[in-house]
Structure 1
Amino acid sequence: MSALSQRAGMSLLLFVSMMILGCGKSTPPVTEKRDSQTGPVTIAGSTSILPLIEACIGDFRKEFPTWHDVSPKLTNQPTLIETVGGGSGFGISSVKSGLVQIGMVARPLTEADRRELKECDIQLVGIDAVVLAAREDNPLFASNADVTLEQLRGLLLGKWKTYREMNPALPDKPIKIVCRDEGAGTTGLVESLVLQDKQIEACASVMESEGALVQELATDRYAMGCTTLREAGLSPKVSAFAIDGIAPTNNDVANGKYPLLQPLYLVTKKPVAPAVEAFTSFVMNREQETIEAAGFVPVRNPPASTPSPASESGTE
C-alpha cells in the first residue's frame, strides 16, 4: 500500500472513530488537508449503496489509473477513493461537517434533510425498494405471502406477539422482528411511509448492515424484517412479501406501483472538488448499466412517484 493510501485510510478511520465515539456532534479537527485536485476522495453512508459504489470505483480506477487520466488539469496522483458504511444519517452528517466528500443516502429526503443539505448538490443515482422479508417456511409467509400496509404497521409496532395471535391457524411461536439501526435508510423509510413517523417498537434484534439482517432472516424461520429488495434477492433462503397485493418485481418497482420505493442519492458539499465531480459524473453518466446489473432501477427511467434530481436540489 502506498504512503498516500495509508495516510488517506488512517485519516478516514480517525474521522469515523470520532463519530462513533460521539465526538462528531461538532466538526472534529482535520488532521490531514486533502488536495482537491488529487484526492483521495472519501465516501461514507448507506450500506445499501456501498457495494454498488465500490463496483463503480473499480470501473473508474481501471479506466483512470491517475487523476491526470481523468483530466489534464488534475495531477498525476493515483485515483484513490476511500469508502466506509455507517448508514444514511451518517452519510448526511459526514458531508455536512466535512468529514467526507460524498455521502451515500438510501431513503427519501425529509424537509429537515433538505434544510441540512442546503449547501450541497444531491444526485439521484437509482431506485431500490424496501420489502418485508422472511424465509419461505416462515409461518406467515407460508400461509399468505401478501400483507397489507396495515398488517405491516401492526407487526412493526408489536400488535401481535405470536403468529397465533395474528392468525389462529398459525403456530404459537413468537414473532421475531429484526431491524436495522436508527440511522439506516431502510429504517427511516419504514418509519416515514409505514409507521407515519412513529418508531419501530417490536424490534427483537438490531443489525448494523442489510447483509447482517438478511443473514439473520435466513437462519431463523420465525424472523421477519424490512430490508432492501436487492439485499433480499442475494439470499436464496429469503423471499419478499407482496404489499397490498403488489409484489416487488422489477416492473412494479420501475413503474412506481410498489408502495415502498427507496431512492438512492449521492450528496456532495459545494463547491464540489474537481476529483469528486469527476467520480460522481462518471457514476451518473457511465455506470447506469452497472446500477441496473446491481439490482437497482437506473435514473434514466425513474418511477413517476420518485422525486427527480431537480426536485431534490438541496435548496428550499
Structure 2
Amino acid sequence: MSLARLWHRFAAAPLKWRLLPLPAALALLALASSPWWRTPTAPALTLAGASQLQSLLAELGAAYEAGRGKLLVEGGGSVAGLIAARRGVIDLAAVSQRLPDWQDEADLHYHLLARNSIAFIVNRASPLRALARRQLREALTGDIRNWRALGGPDAPIRLLTRTEPSSARQFVEEVVLEHHEFSGLAEPLESAARMLATVESDPLALGYLSMQETELDKRVALLAIDGVAFSRATILSGRYPYVQDLYLAYQDDAAGRVRPLLDWLKTPPAQEAIERHQLIAVY
C-alpha cells in the first residue's frame, strides 16, 4: 500500500490510533490491510504414493483447495509413500493395498478411499457366462488358447488387452495375474470404447472393462468368476474375487491435520470424482 493511502487511513482512523506515534500507527494500518492477515491459510497437506491414484488425487486436490487448504500430490508408489508417512515426511500415503509388513502397525491408520475392480466380457452370442479364476488366468497368460478348453466352441480365443499405460491393464496384471505376464498373443487396444466395440462384434473375443466405462450388460456378457457375478453389490461386499481396496494411510500424529480432508472425501463432489475415474465410491 502506498504511503499516501496509509496517510489517508491514518487521518480517518479512531482517535486512539492517532494518539500513537506516527510510525507505529502506520505499521498497524499496513498490517491490518495485508491479505495474509485478513485471510490466514491452513498449512499445506502433503500426499504421495500409488501412481494409479495420482490423476484422481490431483483432481480431488484441486477441488479441495477451493476455500479449504492446499493439497500437494506426488507419486512414487505405495511402499515409498508409506515409508515417507512413517517418517513424518508427508501427511498421507496413497496405497493400493494393505501391505502385510505394515498390517500390525498400531499407529498407522487406513482410510478407505475407493474400490477398484474389473469385469471380464465376452460377446452376447458366446455360450460362456462363467469361469473359474484358474481358467481365466490360463487364458490371459496364453496357457489356454482355445475356447473348447473353457467349455466354448472349438475356436481360438481372440484375447484383448489395453495399451500401456492403462489403470485397467495394471489392475489385471497385479490382481488377476498376480504379476504374471499377458500372453504375447493379446491384442492391445487403445481405449475402453474400442475394447467394447471389438467384443460386441466378435463372438470369439475375450476382454475386460471397469464398471464405470460403459453400460456393460446391455452390449456384452459379463462373466461370473468362481460363481460370483460382477456387480456393485458383490464388489462392495468383497464377494467378487477381483477387488482392490485403495487407501490413504496416515500416522497418529497427522490425524488432526488430515481429518478435514478425509471428511470432505466422503461428500458428494468427491465421491462423484472417484466414479469419474472409473473407481467404485464407497460412501
Give the TM-score of the pair, scaled to structure 2.
Answer: 0.58
CA distance in 2, matches of 1:227, 1:93: 29
Look up the equivalent residue of 1:102 and give its one-letter code.
L
CA distance in 1, matches of 2:181, 2:198: 20
What's the counterpart of residue 6 of structure 2? none
Corresponding residue to 1:279 among 258, 261, 267: 261
Q: Paired residues, what number?
A: 231
CA distance in 1, matches of 2:185, 2:43: 46
Note the C-alpha offset of 1:111.
1.6
Secondary structure of 2:103 counterpart: helix
Secondary structure of 1:161 counterpart: coil
CA displacement 1:182-222 (0-9 Å, x = unmatched)? x955544325xxxxx67345366799xxx967466346547
Question: Do structure 1's residue 202 and structure 2's residue 188 form an aligned pair?
Answer: no
CA distance in 2, matches of 1:235, 1:46: 30
Note the C-alpha offset of 1:160.
1.1
Question: Do structure 1's residue 57 and structure 2's residue 61 form an aligned pair?
Answer: yes
What's the counterpart of residue 110 of structure 2? 122
What's the counterpart of residue 39 of structure 1? 44
Note the C-alpha offset of 1:266.
0.8
Trace 1:291-310 onto structure 2 (pairs within 5 A).
294=275, 296-298=280-282
CA distance in 2, matches of 1:204, 1:84: 35
Q: Kindly indicate whether the alpha-carbon contact (under 8 Å) linking 1:214 and 1:238 is maintained by their aligned counterparts in 2.
A: no
Secondary structure of 1:142 counterpart: coil
Look up the equivalent residue of 2:52 and give its one-letter code.
T
What's the counterpart of residue 19 of structure 1? none
Corresponding residue to 1:93 among 58, 77, 80: 80
What's the counterpart of residue 175 of structure 2? 189
What's the counterpart of residue 30 of structure 1? none
CA distance in 2, matches of 1:177, 1:274: 43
What's the counterpart of residue 261 of structure 1? 243
Percent of aligned positions with the same letter in both sequences? Answer: 13
Give the TM-score of the pair, scaled to structure 1.
Answer: 0.53
Corresponding residue to 1:217 among 186, 195, 201: 195
Secondary structure of 2:135 counterpart: helix
Question: Do structure 1's residue 80 and structure 2's residue 78 form an aligned pair?
Answer: no
CA distance in 2, matches of 1:168, 1:257: 26
CA distance in 2, matches of 1:178, 1:224: 12
Look up the equivalent residue of 2:50 and give its one-letter code.
G
Q: Kindly indicate whether the alpha-carbon contact (under 8 Å) linking 1:229 and 1:240 is maintained by their aligned counterparts in 2.
A: no
CA displacement 1:131-155 (0-9 Å, x = unmatched)? 3434647xxx733232222321322
Look up the equivalent residue of 1:41 and give its one-letter code.
T
Mark the runs of 5 or more structure 2 residues left unpaired by the alignment: 1-40
Question: Whose Rg is larger?
Answer: 2
Note the C-alpha offset of 1:273.
7.3
CA distance in 1, matches of 2:181, 2:146: 17
Look up the equivalent residue of 1:282 and give its one-letter code.
W
Look up the equivalent residue of 1:172 and give its one-letter code.
P
What's the counterpart of residue 17 of structure 1? none
CA displacement 1:106-125 (0-9 Å, x = unmatched)? 34x2423436x776322223
What's the counterpart of residue 21 of structure 2? none
Query: Aligned in 2, Cα 1:131/1:170: closer, same or farther, shift over 3 Å?
Result: farther
Mark the runs of 5 or more structure 1 residues left unpaired by the alignment: 1-35, 67-78, 192-196, 300-316
CA distance in 1, matches of 2:222, 2:152: 23
| RMSD, aligned CA | 4.6
Note the C-alpha offset of 1:243.
1.5
CA distance in 2, matches of 1:184, 1:122: 22
CA distance in 2, matches of 1:242, 1:103: 33
Q: Kindly indicate whether the alpha-carbon contact (under 8 Å) linking 1:92 and 1:104 is maintained by their aligned counterparts in 2.
A: no
Corresponding residue to 1:229 among 211, 215, 228: 211
